[in-house]
Structure 1
Amino acid sequence: MSDLRPGIYEHLVTREIGTLLRAVPDNELIDRRSLDIADSHETLARHLAALTRRALRAVRGESDTVRLARQVEIVNRVTNLISDLVPEATGPEELVEAAEELLGLAEGHDMAGRVRFPARPTIPLTGSALLVNGRGQPEIGHELKRELASADRVDLICAFVKWNGVRVLEEAIEEFLTRGGQLRVVTTTYIGATDRLALDRLATMGADIRVSYDTRMTRLHAKAWLFHRATGLSTAYVGSSNLSKSALSHGLEWNVRLAQAEQPHLIDTFAATFEDYWGDPSFEPYDPAQDAERLDRALSSERSGNRVIAIDFAYVDIHPYTYQREILDELAAERQIHDRWRNLVVMATGTGKTMVAAMDYRQLRSTGRANSLLFVAHREEIGTSPWLVDTLILDLA
């Protein structure tokens, strides 16, 4: 690094950068901080990885064989040094001289005495990539089939599930489920875009499905797959592709492929968030034998634009989201601890002020603190101005 330009950084201060910083005329122009011990290992590991990558790329040799042998020697020497410094954190991690990669391990031979390994994704399991269905690039549908071939469990969250999309992946999904794989699907009736026939087919094959019928509160737009592998090489796809034929093939879709080996924190976040949705009562189990008629009504009402009629009040049970629960708890604390009964709640448009008011009133009514609720809105259509920061005044004095 020859100079430091004005801007924001997240660079570790090396000796070279330290020298450049000493040349800055005013120390107030420099913003720096000490490493946080909570994640210092990640920051330092990135620095070491970048340095190692640059060093290995710079290795020269008389031939590719000689160059590779030199790279392996360097890695093994660094590995041994780390093992000497922190023996409790490493095992026998030296590379074999042949520098091989393990690509698979079969359970045994088939009936014909042959060994078959699953098809591999075009993108290495340890790498991330952007798929745009571009010319000369792998289609998202093609890659999903190959991911299914080697996955142990699959989680799919998808706003719209179309019959023609299920047809594209039907054979791969059926083979996955037949060999003991588990498929969980979270979807919605939003704008009536999902096809019941698609959900029925997935359920028939053995998928577990949960559907959100309340499209006013649960505006699910996510489209993402998580392919769990017991080998520790899970992968995920997050992007714009719904489960439809055009989205999986020729549509102008952007999807990012994530690898656990490269970005484990993102895979962990995906898995944890999916579990939250799966356990949320607003996503209800779908069984074609029992729920087909209800799903048809909901989809039909969404397609006609009559979303109020689509609500089945027999199934409505309001539960606060985590951030709404925090607000309700703070309101309760202000009243019970500080005896403050005139409170102001500020929430962005679309985050559920009406629901917070309803749940707060429900709690107050159950304890005999309130018998009526006056709700005043500033306009006939609520929530149509995203630039507004709305307020909710709770005056029980």
Structure 2
Amino acid sequence: MDFGLYEKLLDSEVKNKISKLHNETRKVDKSESARVLATAYYKILRKILSEKKEGEKIDFVRKLNKEIGNEILYEDDKNFLELLAVHDDETILKKLIDDRPKTSISSSTLFTGYTGPTLESELRREIRTADRIDFIVSFIRYSGLVLIYDDLVEFTKNKKLRIITTSYMGASDYKAILKLSQLPNTEVKVSYDTNRTRLHAKAYYFERNTGFSTAYIGSSNISNPALSKGLEWNLKVSEYTSKDVVDSIIKTFETYWNDEEFRTFSPEVEEDKKELKVALSRREKDEDKKYVFFDLRPYSHQKEILEDLRVEREEYESYKNLVVAATGTGKTMIAAFDYKDAIKNSDKKLLFLAHRKEILQQSIGTFRN
């Protein structure tokens, strides 16, 4: 038996293994006994079922049902059936099926921004199939809101949306918060402390009356890169299999919601709009101060590209070159390093084109660094 930490129910096999070893045990708290036992038997049953053939699985579950007196299996031609949706309106049922999230709503999924569906596409599906929604994010950018806005418009026609955010560092866009607050059945609360905030959480909670609520916890605020192609990590959990985690998310959200630091933003109140504009104006004032100096060096893949450019120019006298690279690989950094080399012996100017103002502002910092 491997040495280290454990948190498993003690059985006869384990008891024998640790009998001659130093060990530490504790009594299972009565309030936790159901969870501890269920977790232990989940692992046991999963192992047993994974080792059986399909027909044997059905026979095993039949015997189990008989022992516990609970029919958890419905058979159809010796196949297991899984209920995916139910409604008394066939049109709505079809829409629920079409809009169903691609990832499971009964188990956990990790989003890394590398493979699988994007966070944007899944959030849109979650919005379309939820009964109530709570968001808690450090900042909201208009570039991110537009990705999910149409779905939120449809959702808030008859369902409730609550959002907690901040004006920290002026990172949020006024237009985005205003647009959200103008949706029906929507409440927005904001922390107006621009220099310090206790809120760095990013969570998206989708309540479903069926007991299959889901929540996303991770690194993504509401911005275009974070929801689409950024290498952000977010864990999706389900009420069905992680009820304790989801309950904790709900409880924490309610605590924040009732904290006086987070104040309701009303689009009809001029004072609220003025206060938010002032709180967010810091970002615009600090745009030219966003850079600091570091000893930056290119990564190995960037060095290869820079060397290829050098060879094209110096050995082949080719001065019209195109660099194509995937998102997140540092194309701006490559351009900055290349420009740094180009101006060593002369004062050459640079024309930098981008389709968004934010990219130009970020790139200025990169080149200055």
What's the Cα RMSD here?
Answer: 2.0
Distance 1:109 1:35, change over 3 A: closer
Instruction: For residue 182 of structure 1, report the CA deviation from its aligned partner.
Output: 1.2
Q: Secondary structure at the match of 1:171?
A: helix
CA distance in 2, matches of 1:92, 1:19: 35
Secondary structure of the residue that 2:140 maps to in structure 1? coil
- Counterpart for residue 329 of structure 2: none
**C-alpha distance in structure 2 between counterparts of 1:9 and 1:263, whole Å:** 20
Gaps of 5+ in 1: 61-66, 84-90, 306-397
- TM-score (norm. length: structure 1): 0.66
How many angstroms does 1:18 deviate by?
A: 2.0
- Say which SS state the counterpart of residue 203 (structure 2) adopts: strand
Task: Tell me if structure 2 keeps the 8 A contact 1:189–1:302.
Answer: no
Once residues 22 and 153 of structure 1 are traced to their aligned partners in structure 2, the CA distance between those partners, rounded to angstroms, is 51
Choose which of 100, 104, 107 in structure 2 pairs with 1:120: 100
Equivalent residues of 1:190, 1:219 under 8 A apart: no
1:171-228 deviation per Cα after TM superposition (whole angstroms, max 9, x unaligned): 11112123x1211000010000111100111122222111111345643111110000
Question: 1:287 corresponds to which residue?
Answer: 266
User: 2:160 aligns to what?
Assistant: 182
Distance 2:57 2:279 in 1: 61
Q: How many angstroms apart in 1 are the aligned matches of 2:163 and 2:247?
A: 18
Partner of 1:100: 81
1:36 pairs, out of 29, 41, 60, with 29
Could you say if the C-alpha distance between residues 114 and 96 of structure 1 is closer, same or farther in structure 2, counting changes exceeding 3 Å? closer
Answering whether residue 57 of structure 2 is matched by residue 71 of structure 1, we say yes
Determine the structure 2 residue equivalent to 1:22. 19
User: Which residues of structure 2 form unaligned runs of 5+?
Assistant: 287-369
Amino acid at match of 2:18: L
Name 2:112's counterpart in structure 1: 132
Matches within 5 A, 1:235-250: 235-250=214-229
Determine the C-alpha separation between the residues in 2 that align with 1:10 and 1:289.
53
Letter in 1 for 2:120: G
Is 1:201 paired with 2:194? no
Q: Contact between 1:161 and 1:199, CA under 8 Å: does it hold in 2?
A: yes
* 1:327-346 matches, cutoff 5 A: none
- Aligned mates of 1:242, 1:230 — CA distance in 2: 26
Q: 1:55 and 1:303 mapped to 2: Cα distance?
A: 61
Residue among 50, 55, 58 paired with 2:48: 55
Match of 2:31, SS state, is coil
- Match for residue 66 of structure 2? 80
Identify the residue that residue 45 of structure 1 maps to in structure 2. Answer: 38
Please point out which of 249, 261, 270 is paired with 2:249: 270
Counterpart selection for 1:222 from 201, 205, 209: 201
| Greater mean deviation of Cα atoms: 208-217 or 46-55 | 208-217
Question: After the TM superposition, which of the residue ranges 153-162 and 194-203 deviates more from structure 2?
Answer: 194-203
TM-score between the two structures when normalised by the length of structure 2: 0.71
Assess, with a 3 A threshold, how the Cα gap between structure 1 residues 103 and 284 changes in structure 2: closer, same or farther.
same
Q: Determine the C-alpha separation between the residues in 1 that align with 2:100 and 2:159.
A: 17
CA contact (8 A) 1:210 1:278 kept: yes
User: 1:94-127 CA deviation, whole Å, 9 max, x = no partner?
Assistant: 43344211111234145xx994334111111101
Q: Would you say the 8 A contact 1:162–1:244 is kept in 2?
A: yes
Count of residue pairs the alignment pairs up: 280
The equivalences for 1:312-323 within 5 A come to none
> Tell me, what secondary structure is at the counterpart of 1:222?
coil
Asked whether the 8 Å contact 1:166–1:244 carries over to 2, the reply is yes
Contact between 1:187 and 1:212, CA under 8 Å: does it hold in 2? yes
Contact 1:156 1:226 in 2 (8 A): yes
- d(CA) in 1 for partners of 2:248, 2:228: 28
Q: Secondary structure at the match of 1:8?
A: coil
Task: Please say if residues 169 and 195 of structure 2, whose CA atoms lie closer than 8 Å, have aligned partners that are also in contact.
Answer: no
| Contact 1:106–1:116 (8 Å) recurs in 2 | no
